[in-house]
Structure 1
Amino acid sequence: MRKLAELIVNNRKLLMVIFIAAAIGSAIMSSHVEVVQELTDYLPEDTETRQGVDLMDAEFTTFGTAKVMISNVTYEEAKDIVEQLKDIKGVSAVDFYEESDEDETEITDGEELSDYYKNLSALLSITFDTPEDDPEAQGAIKDVREALADYDTWFYTTVDKDDNASLQEDIKVILVIAVFIIIAVLWFTSGTYMEIAIFMLVFAMAALLNMGTNFIFGKISFVTNAVASILQLAMAIDYAIILFHRFMEEKAHTDTKEALIRALEKGIVEISSSSLTTMSGMVALMFMHFGIGLDLGRVMVKAILLSMLSVFGFMPGLIMMFNRQIDNTMHKSFVPKIEFWGKIVVAVRKFTVPVFVVMIFVCGYLSNTSTYAYDQSSVESAKMNEYMTSKREISKNFDLDNLMAIVVPAGDYDSEAAILSEIQEIDNVASATGLANVTVDDDEQYVLTDRLTPQELADVTDMDIDTIRLLYRFYAWKEEKYGAFLNSIDEFKIPLISMVDFIYGEEENETFDFDEDLSQDIKDMHKTLSDAREQLEGDNYHRMLFTISGPVEGEETFATIDKVRDIAQKYYHEVYVVGDSTSDYDLSKSFTQDNMIITILTALFVALILLFTFKNYSLPLILVVTIQTSIFINFTLPAIQGVHMYFLSYLIVSSIQMGATIDYAIVITNRYIDLRKTITDKREAVVKTLDQSFATIITSGSIMTSAGFVVGQTTSNPVIASLGTTLGKGTLTSIVLVMLILPQLLYMFDGIIAKTYYKSKLSLENLSKLRAEAAGEEGQKA
């Protein structure tokens, strides 16, 4: 370590040039990192939702849609608005209530009308001509917004919803606030003002390197992209603080260069060891079945490693460069003495420790009874975006559709018709649509896939029967159906889909000269059919759509999905039921397993690291139990409040809380053990431990707590907000237990700790005596 430290310090200028060049390269490469917006992309490859989504992307076109609620309008005004919106380029259809002749005088009394107009509010369902990411759809939704600018409107749509852009704006604000909080904390706990600037430069370097090197993964999730820098700042700034404080301690006894070498010699090992527990939590995330764990875990492991490299390689150059400024900005620490707190901790141990033991079991049980939300739209944040606000406001008056899809192999319309018929009989299925049940006449007698005779087609289209017969003969000749000529053409049946395609094609080729009205009718019918086929018919698969009434997730919804799947599997061996609800269903099934994996692996990794760190059998158990109980308490609060916790918050925060906040427990434990080597009074050792550790814990802990709460209160993305708030509460809980319960456990189990060191049979008391004797011998020699 001495040679490595000398190498770093002697080559500090070269290292700074290398880091600056790497930072410039990272800034350039960061723009090449793709940010994935859909969490479904991280579902395991073998899940039904992932396979179904991939098939739908390859086989079908999904047109953009929007739900728009217009408040404080009359029914007549709403009808006029509908006609106005239909004329906007790019708008395919505007669905609103259409009254029949019988109920025109009672338009406000019908039950059906209440699905579209209620409480002076009108709900319009808009379909666009193109997919939502198409520029035409983007332009159309912009025109719709402009047309409705004078009305009270609520837009529930993803057509112009840019989560990444909105999130990046939030993150900029969060980082600014976080930086101010960190500066305030460091100002309070620092010994020289210049160290604050050095810390921020080191962090900026580490964060930039991490963002730029994400290109090696090709793409990262919006979750990782949003929280990685914040977590890196909160978890890794400790490394810079540790090294600098070491430097200042050594500088009191030697010159600047030698002090820096000694600080690195000791700090490299100390910081590397400290980082292992943090990385262990991130590594545990990588074992999740849900791919978001691997995505976040590997980026954060890289972030921690790059933070350490920045501290070891970039920070020494800064310290030497600003050595004079460090000396000139020295000041007295503002951290107060808290010896009174240590005395209180020892005094109340007989009350608080039994309470703690009870809380282990009670909170452990309650945290497992928490209910979880698996759908992003089911989680609300302190700052609501337009999408979530519109959903909440529209839901006060109308039921929002929960649209699902069934994907099956192509070619069997009869089976599709049977499936659709059975699905419509399920209680909470509001509607079911496929090519096999799209009606084409007012009497709803025929559907698109029916085979019709010339007379039946004439009845549907109001075309002349002789013209239809001629078309049928021409179709039979072109398709080489010569049997139709031998028998009566009136008995020849052709699928309506095929006939519409045929007539449109021949009309376009000018084979027939239809009158203008008939030609327009043919074009309209073909466009309607083409739109339906793009959405419902692929080269190898067909898609059927159905809507479920009620919530997006929950036992009833998941049971309905199982019923739909069972029905479809009676007719097909290959079936995919796809939608937000199936995604939530898949996530709910993997949650229990992922939770178990993360909990066990994180605790195991941390315990092993602590075992080798302290070379003691009892200390890992004491520390892990302390932090694990803080995790239980953190996740007991939602259970008590009856709030649904977002599942990803639980999985990610539980690993971060164990991996990162265990460092606070290590600080307390290390300090206590060191003091017990020279102090025989356990009470005095606890008092001094808390007093001497307070600055370190308050610095690191307050930064992570503040970062979590700032994220939770500032971003409008419900997933990120939930992660932030949960992390803030968890860190605060860990600080309380580390500053209250852990010292009491060290005090009470002091004797056991002394007897459970491996590689040494020396108790702490004996070691204290030996140290005293050694000190006496040194005095005699002097």
Structure 2
Amino acid sequence: MERAIKQMLKWRGAVLALFLGGTILCGVLTTMVGINYDLVDYLPDEAPSTIALDVMNESYDKAVPNVRVMVRDVSIPQALSYKEEIAAVDGVEDVIWLDDQVNIQVPLEIQSAKTVEDYYKDGNALFSVTVADENQEQTLEAIRAIIGEEGAMSGNPVDTVNAQITTDVEIQHMMSIIIPLMFCILLFTTTSWFEAVLFMINVGVAIIINMGTNLIFGEISFITNTTGAILQLACSMDYAIFLLERFEDARAEGLAPLDAMSKAVAGSATSILSSGLTTVVGFVALVAMRFKIGPDMGYVLAKGIAISLLTTLVFMPCMTICCYKWIDKTAHRSFMPSFEKLAKGTNRVKRLVTIGVAVLLIPCFLAQHQISYMYGTSGMASPDSQVAMDREAIEDLFGQSSTFALMVPRGNRAYEQELNDRLKDLPEVSSVLSYVENAGKSIPEAYVPKDQLSQLNSDEYTRMVITARLPSESNETFSFVEKVRNMAEEYYPGAYHLAGESVNVYDMKDTITADSIKVNAIAIGAIAVILLFTFHSFSLPILLLLTIESSIYINMAVPYFTDQTLNYIGYLIISSVQLGATVDYAILFANRYFENRTSMVKSEAAFRTIQGTAGSILTSAGIMTSAGLVLGFVSTNGVISQLGILIARGAVLSAILVLVFLPTLLTTLEGLIRKTTKKQEFYPENQKTGKELEPCKTPTN
């Protein structure tokens, strides 16, 4: 293997040119990758709401209202004028207001107060607007210009456009913070000023290549686009650090740079690849999700880690050989402490911490299943954004509202009338717009204006547009969706379709919840198999995974105990990300512990392992924590911000448990480990460390 590596290093100029050329090309390709901001597109193709949307798009020219627009301090004539202006905007398919529900020529005082106040209250008018999927940003800008800053808008297109505008700016802002922050961490933890430069170049090349090759997917979600580069940086920096440490050790033995790097690559390849493989598996598990955000993120991140492994084992060695003289010239003393005091302190409290973890484990496991979750886009905007303030202003005055489109087969007017009346009688419903309601079941279609008829009847379906006094997402809303579906099933078994933002969120909830057990089981099972072959042990995978899963349980229990509503997408992703990214800490610790255990008694082996691995683990955790905090505090998108905080807290918890909880497991359960592990040597406990004795071997099964 070393011979092949030396040959690669001799051709280092060509290797560097190839990677740098690929980086430039991928930098150009990055601008061609489409970014999707609509989470609805990631619902499974077989989800009822997805099928309903497809049917509605095929059967009707116009969708259902998806934006609420409020204009303040207007009279009825002024409101009608605003309605005409908004309806004339390119991209606006329809505008519904009070005049579509009642005869406004009749005094409003004798009309239904509830109906009137749904559209006009205290001199303020509320319009239900249907905005087309194309060019939504320009359409909403035009509406904003009409209603002015005093007006307000809310709805899924508003949330989507806001995510699009803010994400593009925030990615640049986050990278401008995280790159200098990572650089400072590396300057502190390395022994040469120039090493930090090499690390950043290596990971930068990997990130750009990964972003450019995303073109093979056509488009990626904005969540993946925002978090992908930062997570790749945080998860893969260790590989290059570990390689360069081996290179320095080999040079310290007196080897020439070329020989030292060949030995370093050959000696570290197995460890780096096994460490990277666990991270890849954690991300690949997301591919098993039916909710397509999982595959979207899983493929991109798994590809990113694979590219990082390639750059670390091919590009980094060649670059280092070209620049090792700069490493020597900028060498400095280590700023990292010896961690002896940390090891002593950890040894003193490890049993207490272990008892604490054991006590917390079951409550935390149960708590994460009691968290209040959000599944849609309503919680994405920050509380101080215009989007959130507009939504609050509309809801304070007119209350919450959701629109649904129920499509049923045409032909049975009696069924249509009966279903229409039952829907109107539901306490949550404020209005129903349908053929039998607005035209009458006895009126022939030939007498109804074509533009109105096309909104309600198609060749195969008649559509009932239901407006309910409900938020887009809540338990009451989900219950209402079930109620309408059950009611429609009575009249049209298996032949109806229900569409709407709340229906999408309901199916999103249903899909994501079903995904969680499957994704976690795949991630844990696959990583357990990797650990089984890495350590030749049946018990060690369980202990290492128990350590990381315990940190995940504690991490996920915090929102419950702090009464925080959590976006379920963040919960689902963090389970795989934290497991795949931080199980490396446990692998590193276990490897070093068993190396020490061949020549030390277990108590000293644990002490030396804590002291020897604390620097690497804390550096890695520090990088991941910093990346998470930047996501958490810079992003105004609720999903991304929560995911960042979860990543940061998870990295800290994983590092603490690996340095404190895992040593106790390894020393206390050594009897079990001996019986279930092959090819591992253990120094005799009844001998003092340092005596020339043959270590005893675990009997093989």
Task: Judge same fold: TM > 0.5, yes or no.
Answer: yes
Shift in Å, 1:589? 2.7
Match of 1:634 in 2: 555
Structure 2 CA distance for partners of 1:259 and 1:121, relative to 1, 3 Å: farther
Match of 2:129 in 1: 127
Structure 2 CA distance for partners of 1:4 and 1:392, relative to 1, 3 Å: farther
Q: Distance in 2 between matches of 1:127 and 1:591?
A: 30
1:671-719 deviations in Å (ceiling 9; x for gaps): 2222222223x33333322222122112211111121121122222222
Q: Percent identity?
A: 30
Structure 2 CA distance for partners of 1:327 and 1:566, relative to 1, 3 Å: same
Q: Distance in 2 between matches of 1:587 and 1:141?
A: 26
Q: Distance in 2 between matches of 1:749 and 1:739?
A: 16
Shift in Å, 1:769? 9.6
SS of 1:678 mapped into structure 2? coil
Structure 2 CA distance for partners of 1:69 and 1:184, relative to 1, 3 Å: farther
Q: Distance in 2 between matches of 1:755 and 1:765?
A: 15
Corresponding position: 1:689 with 2:609: yes
Alignment counterpart, residue 605 of structure 1, candidates 526, 533, 557? 526
1:585-628 deviations in Å (ceiling 9; x for gaps): 22333344322112222222222211211222322121111111
Within-5 A mapping of 1:21-170: 21-60=21-60, 61-62=62-63, 66-70=67-71, 74=73, 76=75, 80=78, 83-84=81-82, 86-87=84-85, 89-90=88-89, 93=95, 95=97, 114-116=117-119, 122-125=124-127, 127=129, 131=132, 133=134, 141-149=140-148, 151-157=149-155, 161=161, 163-170=163-170
Shift in Å, 1:636? 0.8
Any conservation in 1 of the 2:282–2:576 contact (CA below 8 Å)?
A: yes
Within-5 A mapping of 1:599-678: 599-678=520-599
Shift in Å, 1:275? 0.8
Any conservation in 1 of the 2:98–2:104 contact (CA below 8 Å)?
A: no
Q: Distance in 2 between matches of 1:240 and 1:193?
A: 15
Structure 2 CA distance for partners of 1:67 and 1:763, relative to 1, 3 Å: same
Q: Which runs of 5+ in 2 are unaligned?
A: 696-701
Aligned length: 684
Any conservation in 2 of the 1:23–1:205 contact (CA below 8 Å)?
A: yes
Alignment counterpart, residue 765 of structure 1, candidates 664, 684, 692? 684
Bigger mean CA offset, 536-545 vs 740-749: 536-545
Any conservation in 2 of the 1:677–1:767 contact (CA below 8 Å)?
A: no
Two-structure CA RMSD over aligned residues (Å): 3.1
SS of 2:480 mapped into structure 1? helix
Shift in Å, 1:726? 1.8
Any conservation in 2 of the 1:285–1:652 contact (CA below 8 Å)?
A: yes
Shift in Å, 1:194? 0.9
SS of 1:127 mapped into structure 2? strand
Structure 2 CA distance for partners of 1:418 and 1:275, relative to 1, 3 Å: same
Match of 1:560 in 2: 480
Corresponding position: 1:596 with 2:544: no
Q: Which runs of 5+ in 1 are unaligned?
A: 440-446, 452-494, 501-525, 777-782
Q: Distance in 2 between matches of 1:411 and 1:99?
A: 29
Q: Distance in 2 between matches of 1:187 and 1:731?
A: 21
Match of 1:342 in 2: 343
Q: Distance in 2 between matches of 1:763 and 1:685?
A: 10
Shift in Å, 1:344? 1.9
Match of 1:551 in 2: 471
Q: TM-score, normalised by structure 1?
A: 0.81
SS of 1:124 mapped into structure 2? strand
User: Which structure is larger by alpha-carbon Rg, 1 or 2?
Assistant: 1
Q: Distance in 2 between matches of 1:411 and 1:106?
A: 36
Q: Distance in 1 between matches of 2:272 and 2:106?
A: 80
Shift in Å, 1:80? 3.7
Match of 1:498 in 2: 446
Structure 2 CA distance for partners of 1:105 and 1:393, relative to 1, 3 Å: closer
Q: Distance in 1 between matches of 2:184 and 2:372?
A: 37
Any conservation in 1 of the 2:380–2:638 contact (CA below 8 Å)?
A: yes
Shift in Å, 1:41? 2.4
Q: Distance in 1 between matches of 2:106 and 2:463?
A: 36
Q: Distance in 1 between matches of 2:67 and 2:515?
A: 35
Any conservation in 2 of the 1:381–1:712 contact (CA below 8 Å)?
A: no
Structure 2 CA distance for partners of 1:333 and 1:657, relative to 1, 3 Å: same
Structure 2 CA distance for partners of 1:737 and 1:533, relative to 1, 3 Å: farther
Q: TM-score, normalised by structure 2?
A: 0.89
Q: Distance in 2 between matches of 1:9 and 1:254?
A: 15
Any conservation in 2 of the 1:36–1:219 contact (CA below 8 Å)?
A: yes
Match of 1:733 in 2: 653
Structure 2 CA distance for partners of 1:139 and 1:553, relative to 1, 3 Å: closer
Q: Distance in 1 between matches of 2:14 and 2:453?
A: 64
Match of 1:287 in 2: 288
Q: Distance in 2 between matches of 1:132 and 1:637?
A: 38
The one-letter code matched in structure 1 to 2:595 is D
Match of 1:259 in 2: 260
Shift in Å, 1:773? 4.4
Structure 2 CA distance for partners of 1:382 and 1:64, relative to 1, 3 Å: closer
Within-5 A mapping of 1:81-480: 83-84=81-82, 86-87=84-85, 89-90=88-89, 93=95, 95=97, 114-116=117-119, 122-125=124-127, 127=129, 131=132, 133=134, 141-149=140-148, 151-157=149-155, 161=161, 163-252=163-252, 253-377=254-378, 379=379, 385-439=385-439, 447=440, 450-451=442-443
1:431-462 deviations in Å (ceiling 9; x for gaps): 221223224xxxxxxx3x643xxxxxxxxxxx
The one-letter code matched in structure 1 to 2:352 is F
1:147-179 deviations in Å (ceiling 9; x for gaps): 444x53333255572533431221111112111
Match of 1:504 in 2: none
Any conservation in 2 of the 1:676–1:768 contact (CA below 8 Å)?
A: no
Corresponding position: 1:747 with 2:667: yes
The one-letter code matched in structure 2 to 1:195 is E
Q: Distance in 1 between matches of 2:480 and 2:66?
A: 24
